[in-house]
Homo-oligomer: A and B are copies of this chain.
Amino acid sequence: MNIGEAAKASGVSAKMIRYYESVGLIDPAMRSESGYRVYGENDLHVLRFVKRARKMGFSMERIETLLGLWRDGERNSAEVKKLALGHIAELEQQIAEMQAVADTLRKLAATCHGDNRPDCPILDDLSAEHEAPARAPKRRRA
C-alpha cells in the first residue's frame, strides 16, 4: 500500500502521515526500491489509532504515550486511565472557561438593543476601565 491508499484507508492525510513519521510519533515506514513509503495492515491500525486519539483532542505528546502503552502488553491500565482522566480534567477546565465567556456575552447581548442605535453594552463592557464584566450600575454614559 502506498501512502495515498494508506491515507484514504486511515483517514489521515498523506501530509500528516509524513509529519507524524518525521517527528517520531510513528515508526518510519518501509520503503520500496524506488523510495516510496509502503504500508501494511498493522500500520493502518496505528494510523487509525492516532486519528481517533486526535479526534478526541489528545495532544500528540500524549498520543505518543498512549501508543507506547497500547503496544506494551505489560501496561498497567491505571496509567492509561490516569492519562484519560487528565485529559478529561483539561477539557472540563476549558469548557468551564468558555462557558463563562458565553454566559457573560449572552447577558450583554440580551441588553443590547440590536437596532440602528449606536449604544451597546457589549462595546461598553469591552471598553470599561474596571475589571468586572458589566456589573456596576453606573448609568452615566461612558
Q: How far is the CA of A58 from the CA of B56 in the complex (A)?
A: 24
Which DSSP category, helix, strand, loop or mixed, fits chain A's interface? helix
> Are A66 and B126 touching (Cβ within 8 A)?
yes
Within A118-136, the residues touching B (CB, 8 Å) are 118-120, 122-123, 125-129
Q: How far is the CA of A49 from the CA of B56 in the complex (A)?
A: 34
The 9 closest A-B pairs by CB, nearest first: A77-B120, A81-B114, A91-B102, A81-B112, A80-B120, A76-B116, A78-B114, A84-B109, A75-B118
> Which residues of chain A have a CB within 8 Å of any CB of chain B?
45, 48-49, 52-53, 56-57, 66, 69-70, 72-78, 80-82, 84-85, 87-88, 91-92, 94-95, 98-99, 101-102, 104-106, 108-109, 112-120, 122-123, 125-129
